[in-house]
Structure 1
């Protein structure tokens, strides 16, 4: 099958999942063409059957802003003709689905080019629901030949918000359990902690929705009872506020900001616990990656996180902003070796059994087939 995948190249969940899907489809023998304005970081290395097409928007003096949507639609049309694309899979509805729809209409007299849209979260809950983009987002979703959401929570919210005529199909995110796995690295762990200390971890783009200051507050309470260190990977607008709070609480020597990291699969196994106190997570891919590395997760009971984390089995959930409860869960778990070992093992088991790569890529392949076989 010749498949086009449109995505952002960013470190967020949508770019990661789209890139990983492209890799997995390529390994199955499909020819996958990826469209974005720069190479997605998960596609930095050569993959047979995966081809990257950079979209460059012209920067004419007449344009106040480069017309990326038009440039993307034109690039899809060009590659569809050259590579005989059979389906376009748009990740993140704005503006990718609109561009894919435009390309589909431009090619209507030559060929059929169905469009599948996968919603990842903020494309719907923040961008798409903005009054400026609401109607174009709703039109794009309704005009798609198929629509998926990464969690039931997101599917239901999207259907209600945009008054969709059909409930999006739920195909969750997945994790490569061979890449994300527990691994002991005492020398690397020793770079960040002393013997007997625990390591707590947070990875995000550090935007307000991630509530990074809550991560610091949770850690402060945990450290009062269990000697610990905190690692934070990623960067974003709330990094400085989090660093200032750590300094105010006298924790600057115990909190380490790692910056943006490409190879997080090597960072997760260093941790004893992963913290994700977000205000909203449509799925929570980093939580799943942590679980695959046998790291229990303490997170907010928000959005799609309860579909990933099984309360009291693979981690703990608490109301958004309830740092006291989250800290209490963390201390309880870190203070009970037997309970911790059981939860860590069950976290890995759930990640492998429920979110393994193969059945989820199978589901996308099957949906492509359905779309292609529907007149």
Structure 2
């Protein structure tokens, strides 16, 4: 089987992590003879059957980047197919709205329709962005029309799409995001102590970890306000931020914050094992991979009820009612009230859930089965 994979993102985090894990597994499978990746950069070294066609998107924002990549990718695929036969195209870009006369699978990591829905505020910038999301939704629909199968990483998104694009519902399938549970695992206490010394963190503090972009949409401002009050009530509690963004300088100014900045993927298992808890107060998410990574490392996770978060965590106690400071405080205090025995129970349940539902071993074969069914 010969496959073309199209993606605008091969960076670790979100869709990039999802695609890299797919490629790693595909590279070793006998079912796939050749993989051609069209994308902005090369991933880690693969065997000779995996090749890259570099294609850099132009522009800083989605308004320019999305259509440019789609047009350039279309031309590149047409050129490739004139020279060589491929069995299918798997795109992780919802703008590839062409019929290439071979089967196409699309993985929807989000849709322009959902991006409009999340932008409830009416600032001029958001109004302008929503105008383009509305225009670009036409490409989403066209891509769905031309796809043999449409994979949604989010069950919630698939159900919404089923209402909006009911004609094509039979093509939809839910395969969640997944992680490498052998890479993300809990360290023993001795190793955790050595880690804190390595990163110069207090051995006596309780650390609440956030991983992601440091921007308002992630609920960072409410989290800081909540922690200001929480910090007055509890001694030796600190926020640990990993990521970059427009709020990095702001959060770094608080005494109860440790900001580690961007961390390479190969060190992220260490980062999760530095912390005692994980918090995600986002205003919007689709299917946050960071929650899976934290749970796989046996961190208790509290998060807002966005995207598929409630389904992932599977414990209503851990759902933050809203991304408001007072609701975040309620859950922070709840975690502090749990006995050691209850925390251990949550840790073990989190690890088990990820192993059983969200591992590469469980979900990547499902993608391969779709390939086999349509070729």
Report the TM-score range of the alignment, normalised by the length of the smaller protein: 0.7 to 0.9
Residues 39-188 of structure 1 correspond to what in structure 2 (within 5 A)?
A: 39=42, 43-46=43-46, 49-56=49-56, 67-80=68-81, 84-93=85-94, 95=95, 97-98=96-97, 101=98, 104=100, 108=101, 113-121=102-110, 123-126=112-115, 130-166=133-169, 168-183=172-187, 184-188=191-195
Indicate the SS of the match to 1:25: helix
- Deviation string 1:43-100 (CA, Å, 9 cap, x unpaired) is 23445643222015799xxxx999432321222234445564211111131x3x22xx
- The answer to whether the aligner puts 1:332 opposite 2:334 as a matched pair is yes
Shift, 1:32, TM fit: 2.5
Go from structure 1 to structure 2 and tell me whether the alpha carbon gap of 1:326 and 1:142 turns closer, same or farther (over 3 Å shift).
same
Contact 1:222–1:327 (8 Å) recurs in 2:
yes
Q: Which residue of 1 aligns with 2:122?
A: none
Shift, 1:171, TM fit: 0.6
Indicate the SS of the match to 1:201: strand
Shift, 1:139, TM fit: 1.4
Distance 1:49 1:216 in 2: 48
Go from structure 1 to structure 2 and tell me whether the alpha carbon gap of 1:204 and 1:267 turns closer, same or farther (over 3 Å shift).
same
Go from structure 1 to structure 2 and tell me whether the alpha carbon gap of 1:180 and 1:210 turns closer, same or farther (over 3 Å shift).
same
Q: Which residue of 2 aligns with 1:320?
A: 322
Shift, 1:153, TM fit: 0.4
Residues 362-373 of structure 1 correspond to what in structure 2 (within 5 A)?
A: 362-372=365-375
Task: Give the root-mean-square deviation of aligned CA atoms.
Answer: 2.7
- The answer to whether the aligner puts 1:271 opposite 2:275 as a matched pair is yes
Contact 1:200–1:219 (8 Å) recurs in 2:
no
Go from structure 1 to structure 2 and tell me whether the alpha carbon gap of 1:181 and 1:211 turns closer, same or farther (over 3 Å shift).
same
Go from structure 1 to structure 2 and tell me whether the alpha carbon gap of 1:268 and 1:92 turns closer, same or farther (over 3 Å shift).
farther
- Deviation string 1:210-268 (CA, Å, 9 cap, x unpaired) is 1112232343344332512222111123334444xxx3xxxx23312222222222211
Distance 2:16 2:134 in 1: 25
- The answer to whether the aligner puts 1:211 opposite 2:219 as a matched pair is yes
Distance 2:297 2:355 in 1: 10
Q: Which residue of 1 aligns with 2:196?
A: 189
Shift, 1:289, TM fit: 0.8
Go from structure 1 to structure 2 and tell me whether the alpha carbon gap of 1:57 and 1:11 turns closer, same or farther (over 3 Å shift).
closer
Distance 1:83 1:330 in 2: 57
Q: Which sections of structure 1, spanning at least 5 residues, go unmatched?
A: none
Go from structure 1 to structure 2 and tell me whether the alpha carbon gap of 1:321 and 1:203 turns closer, same or farther (over 3 Å shift).
same
TM-score by length of 1: 0.83
Go from structure 1 to structure 2 and tell me whether the alpha carbon gap of 1:214 and 1:92 turns closer, same or farther (over 3 Å shift).
farther
- The answer to whether the aligner puts 1:199 opposite 2:200 as a matched pair is no
Contact 1:22–1:34 (8 Å) recurs in 2:
no
Go from structure 1 to structure 2 and tell me whether the alpha carbon gap of 1:218 and 1:92 turns closer, same or farther (over 3 Å shift).
farther
Q: Which residue of 2 aligns with 1:3?
A: 3
Go from structure 1 to structure 2 and tell me whether the alpha carbon gap of 1:305 and 1:38 turns closer, same or farther (over 3 Å shift).
same
Distance 1:36 1:46 in 2: 15
Contact 1:12–1:205 (8 Å) recurs in 2:
no
TM-score by length of 2: 0.83
Go from structure 1 to structure 2 and tell me whether the alpha carbon gap of 1:259 and 1:162 turns closer, same or farther (over 3 Å shift).
farther
Which range is displaced more, 292-301 or 259-268? 259-268
Q: Which residue of 2 aligns with 1:231?
A: 240
- The answer to whether the aligner puts 1:303 opposite 2:307 as a matched pair is yes
Go from structure 1 to structure 2 and tell me whether the alpha carbon gap of 1:272 and 1:57 turns closer, same or farther (over 3 Å shift).
closer
Which range is displaced more, 302-311 or 199-208? 199-208
Q: Paired residue for 1:356, among 350, 355, 359?
A: 359
Distance 1:176 1:291 in 2: 12
